[in-house]
Amino acid sequence: MRLGVLDIGSNTGHLLVVDAHGGAAPLPAYSFKQPLRLAEHLDAAGAVTQAGIDALTAFTVESVRVADDRGCAEMLAFATSAVRDAVNSEAVLDHVHERTGVRIEVLSGEDEARLTFLAVRRWFGWSAGRLAVFDIGGGSLELAGGRDEAPDVAWSLPLGAARLARTLGQAPGEDELGELRRRIRAEIARDAGHLLRAGAPDRAVATSKTFRSLARICGAASSAEGPLVRRTLQLPELRTWIPKLATMTLVELGQLPGVSPSRAHQIVPGALVAEACMDLFDLPELEICPWALREGVILERLDHLSFLGDQR
């Protein structure tokens, strides 16, 4: 069947059209996305502004048109941290539903980590053993670990790259970056025992745009070489790059391989989160997985349809 997966993230709205059926990898057929930057469309009270609501509504309208044109039989729509944490999230989603007919589901942070873990497990398979999975989004950091398809532990922290970027000035100095580094590490370390008490993972994996960009900066293969090429983020290289990144202008950051200009301001805080994850969990490298939350949502939906078919 052909599915449309509408992912309303903290940075980007992304409609991914896939051809999918049980027992096969979802095959991307078309991609439509726009930089909504909802994490930056929050007012002082934590509400999505009218500009943010209008942008989300317009993107959803256009996504419905694209999904119809591409022959999607079903639309799976979900939102993550920026909408989840907004004080007016229910009103925002009601507004979108009234204007577009699309009911966007808000994923909890734990579900976001769980579904990302499912995608990583399916990509690497059972031979990967115990997995540790990290995902830096725009609004939150997801962590999960386990030996099965469902993680033993899964949680979310408010350490997304866009969220942290909003706390920094235009040209943060050493003191400001040092304070942010300490805050990130204290937040991750508080619940690190969830993952550490099971021992070292057999495979440590990172997903999504921030980790992909950092791996590319540190020398990983470009996306043009295809998803099957092994890509890693090495801690020594990342540590070498962080002081350089901290001194670059936004223009210079936006010209780095794998970095889009619209996300250049998020690279330094994202790098500090990535370094903290690798350091605190004693991981010299993270392997980059091309599948993440969207694929997890698709796989869970296919599993559900397969279960319903078996019940008939």
For the chain (312 residues), the mean pLDDT of every run of 10, in chain order, is 94 94 90 91 92 96 98 96 94 97 96 98 97 96 97 97 88 92 98 95 97 98 94 98 96 96 95 98 98 95 74 56
Residue 4: beta bridge partners? Answer: 17, 75
Q: Decide which of 3.30.420.40, 3.30.70.330, 3.40.50.1580, 3.40.50.1400 is the CATH code for 2-106.
A: 3.30.420.40
At residue 171, the pLDDT reads 78
- CA angle, 235 then 237 then 239, to 5°: 70
Residues facing 232 on adjacent strands = 287
CATH of 109-293, one of 3.90.226.10, 3.30.420.150, 3.40.50.2300, 3.40.50.670: 3.30.420.150
Domain ranges in the chain? 2-106, 109-293
Same fold, 2-106 and 109-293: yes
pLDDT at res. 23: 84
The distance of Cα 179 from the centroid of its chain, to the nearest Å, equals 24
E strands, the chain, in order: 2-8, 13-19, 27-34, 74-79, 105-106, 131-136, 141-146, 153-157, 203-207, 232-234, 285-289
List 78's β-bridge partners, or say none: 7, 105
